[in-house]
Structures are given as C-alpha cells and as structure tokens.
Copies of this chain bind each other. A is one copy, B any other.
Amino acid sequence: MESTGKKERIVIIGAGFGGLTLAKHVDKSRYEVVIVDRRNYHSFPPLFYQVASSGLEPANIAFPIRRELRARRMRDARYHYGKVTEIDMKAREVATQYERIPFDKLVIAAGTTNNFFGIEGLDEHVYTMKTVPEAVRARNAILGRLERGSLERDPEKRRALLTFVVVGGGPAGVEVAGALGEMKRYIVPREYPGIDRDEVRVILVEGTDKLLGTMTAASGRDAETALGELMVDIYLKRTVKSVADGVVTFAGGTTLEAETVVWTAGVTGVPFHLTGTEVQAGRGGRFVVDEYNRVEGLEGVYAIGDIAMHADERYPRGCPQVAQPAIQQARTLACNLNSGNFTRPFSYNDKGSMATIGRNRAVVDMGKTHFSGFPAWLLWMAVHLMSLMGMRNRVMVFFNWCLNYFNFGSPLRVLMRPSRLPLPSFRDE
C-alpha cells in the first residue's frame, strides 16, 4: 500500500472497542485512517459465554467492520484484512501476510488472548473463550459431550463426559459456570431423557479464596450463592497444574476426570514482533505507555485498551482490561491527535463493574454501592444491549433474551461442527 503523501496516515491495529472508537473520533480531514484486523468483524467479548452456552448466535455479537465504516463519521476510514506479522519501526511499516502498510502514526489496539501460564500442552486440552470461534468450539464440545454422555454405558467414561470444569473465578468463569449450571438444572431434565440431572457436574475452580476478585467481597459472596442454587460446585484455593486426556491435575496432586475444561484463568496481550527497535511488550504482553497512551521509547506509536499498561496511584497494575478504559483512552487519544499537542492526560472514569449468573441474576458494583439479584440483572441487560454495535444486533439479542427468559433457555442448541472438507487451493490463505 502506498502513502498518498498528503495527510499523515494513522494505522490502527485492531477493530475492537478501542480501535473503532478511535477511528470514529480522529479528524479524517487531518489524518488518513487505516484499520487492520485479522477478522473482518468487530465482536463483543462480554457475551461470548452466551454463544458457548447456546443462548446467542455468533452473528448476534459480531459486526462486520465494513458495515460499520458506512456510518457517517467513519466513511473516510479504510479497512484492511490481514494479520499483523511484523511492526517494522525502521521502515515505519506494518506487515501482514498480504502487504506492507506504511504509517506515520501507529495505534496498537489489538487486545488480549489466552494466557496458559506456560503450562505445557494446555491449549490443546482446554476450551477457551477469547474469540467468537473459540466460543463456538466450546459450544460444540458441550453439546457433543451431552449427546455422547447420554449414549455411554461405561459408568466411568460417562462420568467424565458429563463433568464440566470451568477454570477461573473472574467474571468470564462465573458467567460460563452459571450458564452451565442453568443447563444442568433446567435443560437436561427436559431435553435429555437419557441423562439423570445428578449425573451432570459443573465445577468452578478458582485459585484464590473468593470469586470475582476484582469486585467487592459482597459481589463474590452473592455470586457463590447464586451459583450454588444453579447446582455449581465451587472449588476455591485450587490451582490447575495440567489438563490432558480427560484428566485435570491440581497443584498438590489430586485429579479429576473431566472431558470438558473451559479455561478463563488468564489473558495476555496479543503478541507482536517489533523490529528495528529495542522496545517490546512488557509484563502480561502489555505495552507500557505514558498518561497520553504513547508507547515509551517509540515515536508516534500509541497503545490503547487491554494491551496498554499505565501504572498510576489508583491503578498500580494498569487499568482493568475491559471495554470502558479502551473506549475512554481512544477518545482521549483522538483529542490529542486532533489537536496535535498532547495536553490532555488520560484519567479513567470507572463506571462500575458487573457480572451475571444464569438467567436472571447479576451482581453490580458502582462506586461504593453494591447490589445483586433481579434488578442487577436488568441493569446488566440494559448496559450490554446499549453497548452492542448495530440496531439489528440489539434487536436480535433482545429478542433472543426474551425468548430464552420465558422459555428457559437455548433453542439454539445446534452442534454445528465446521465442514471437514479440505479447503480449496488458494496458496497463502
């Protein structure tokens, strides 16, 4: 791709909340904006767990980037399909498998991926939830195990097939476990006559002594209660050492037979290969930035969202890795880029945090206020609907939620394995 030579070109890596918000607010009469993403859609991670539990369809929470660029304020931004394979600081180019894109300014907004903490082979033996296809894969596994379990007559194999382990007691883990608990409590008795409900085990494993460690203690306790009502077993202070061939081994040596292990225990920044510089991502795969989201040591390079890390007094380990800081950082950075002088430092306005458990419960922390149960769930619903991109998606999700609510869930239990046909020719795809 050649530079037009007129405007400065900003290349944005990643079309998540941070990248798209930035593209929207950057002054397109001053900058040429190019968004690069390996996927042609923006997606909505807070609801991935509902894809895994068959409550929503993948497309409900995925929005084509090109469609978004048709919006009035986005029309002059361009989208390029491709996975970034190198950031060349000497040539000031971003390389993908298809092309090299020169930049004047670069914004890294690629977010995070799974962190397996160096446990050997773990990625091959667990199900993860960091992208929509990963959530679909988890869904297929869950539905497949139920089908297999209902046919299996060897009691030991049957037990392993019907044991679902969720590792990680953060919001993602609590939400997946809640959805699985709902499945055990309400769906299995109704739709799987070959399975006794008590044969199904849902186990949530957390390394510390409480759930939802980033939220208030009250939220953690309320989550425990709600999960208990959904027949989820909670193992606190347990660390997973390995998962292989249907066996989970904990630190200390105890084991558990389970065919399905969902891993939500950690994230790390999407890895990048930077050349022509000493600077690389730091701890947790995050780029260290100053209060203007400038990557330290790299001129004209910025990082926002989950992959950026700025320690201050309030957040000594950086902002929480959720949507709000990414959106707020993108707005501030756009302001600074538009004005040309970096005078507005970023300051995170924490609007609170929430997690949902099952069909009609949630926990909410807002400042010092905590509440839970049905009102929290209504607020959770409203906030998530508003954050979804596109009116169609909002309507579809709302419609699905209403049906799920009155129906007790999940008419979408379609186990749709990808086609196994080999992929036609094209060389380097």
A192 within 8 A of B: yes
Q: Which residue of B lies closest to A193 (CB)?
A: B78
Q: CA A416 – CA B59 in complex, angstroms?
A: 9
Q: CA A268 – CA B264 in complex, angstroms?
A: 45
Q: CA A147 – CA B151 in complex, angstroms?
A: 44
Please name all residues of chain B whose beta carbon is closer than 8 Å to the beta carbon of A80 when the two chains form the complex.
Answer: 151
Q: Which residue of B lies closest to A390 (CB)?
A: B411
Interface residues of A in 183-202 (CB under 8 A from B): 190-194
Q: Is the CB of A40 within 8 A of B98?
A: no
Q: CA A120 – CA B212 in complex, angstroms?
A: 57
Interface residues of A in 118-160 (CB under 8 A from B): 123-128, 131-134, 136-137, 141, 143-145, 147-148, 150-152
Q: Is the CB of A411 within 8 A of B392?
A: yes
B-contact bits for A191-217, CB 8 A (1 contact / 0 none)? 111100000000000000000000000
Residue from A194, A395, A399, A423 having most chain B Cβ neighbours under 10 A:
A423
Q: Is the CB of A148 within 8 A of B99?
A: no
- Of the candidate stretches A7-15, A16-24, A62-70, the one touching chain B is A62-70
Q: List 18 A-B contacts (CB under 8 A).
A: A40-B143, A40-B147, A58-B414, A58-B416, A62-B414, A62-B416, A64-B411, A78-B193, A81-B150, A81-B151, A125-B425, A126-B424, A127-B424, A131-B419, A133-B419, A136-B419, A137-B421, A390-B411
Q: How far is the CB of A313 from chain B (nearest CB, A)?
A: 39
Please name all residues of chain B whose beta carbon is closer than 8 Å to the beta carbon of A423 when the two chains form the complex.
Answer: 137
Interface residues of A in 217-232 (CB under 8 A from B): none
Closest 4 CB pairs of A and B: A418-B418, A81-B147, A133-B419, A66-B191
Please name all residues of chain B whose beta carbon is closer than 8 Å to the beta carbon of A424 when the two chains form the complex.
Answer: 124-127, 141, 259-261
Q: Is the CB of A41 within 8 A of B416?
A: yes
Q: Is the CB of B399 within 8 A of A151?
A: no
Q: CA A429 – CA B124 in complex, angstroms?
A: 15
Q: CA A82 – CA B26 in complex, angstroms?
A: 54
Q: How far is the CB of A40 from chain B (nearest CB, A)?
A: 5
Q: Is the CB of A41 within 8 A of B133?
A: no
Which of B59, B63, B147, B419 is the one whose CB lies under 8 Å from A57?
A: B59
Q: Is the CB of A412 within 8 A of B128?
A: no
Q: CA A421 – CA B113 in complex, angstroms?
A: 13
Please name all residues of chain B whose beta carbon is closer than 8 Å to the beta carbon of A411 when the two chains form the complex.
Answer: 63-64, 67, 390, 392
Known: A426-B148, A429-B144. A421 touches B64 (CB 8 A): no
Please name all residues of chain B whose beta carbon is closer than 8 Å to the beta carbon of A41 when the two chains form the complex.
Answer: 414-416
Which of B81, B395, B418 is the one whose CB lies under 8 Å from A136?
A: B418
A39 within 8 A of B: yes
Q: Is the CB of A425 within 8 A of B245?
A: yes
Q: Which residue of B lies closest to A395 (CB)?
A: B399
A95 within 8 A of B: no
Residue from A66, A244, A415 having most chain B Cβ neighbours under 10 A:
A66
A379 within 8 A of B: no
Q: CA A69 – CA B191 in complex, angstroms?
A: 8
B-contact bits for A330-371, CB 8 A (1 contact / 0 none)? 000000000000000000000000000000000000000000
A246 within 8 A of B: yes
Q: Is the CB of B148 within 8 A of A81?
A: yes
Known: A58-B414, A80-B151, A192-B66. A246 touches B419 (CB 8 A): no
Q: Is the CB of A59 within 8 A of B419?
A: no
Residue from A136, A244, A415 having most chain B Cβ neighbours under 10 A:
A415
